[in-house]
Amino acid sequence: MSAHAILQSGAAGAVVLLWLLLTVAYLAVVVWIYSDAERHSSHPAFLWAIVVFLAPLLGIVLYFILGRDRV
């Protein structure tokens, strides 16, 4: 195996690991939004989880602006 092939396989492994970590973090945010919306929102928590799942950045911003009830 050449040095070039070894470097490419290492980079691919790092990309897969990064993708895996980001996917786990993304799903953790969706679960956190769902559980937070159950406690702090008068809107359905399931709908907020779907919004955040389909449009992550916009969904999180909208949830913090519109989704949480003022205490």
Residue 20's pLDDT is what?
A: 93
Residue 51's pLDDT is what?
A: 96
pTM over 0.75: yes
In the chain, where the domains are located: 22-71
Residue 71's pLDDT is what?
A: 61
Query: How many whole angstroms from its chain centre is CA 4?
Result: 34
Give pLDDT tens digits for 2-58: 555 555 666 777 888 899 999 999 999 999 999 999 999 999 999 999 999 999 999
Is the dihedral angle over the CA atoms 51, 29, 68, 59 positive or is it negative? negative
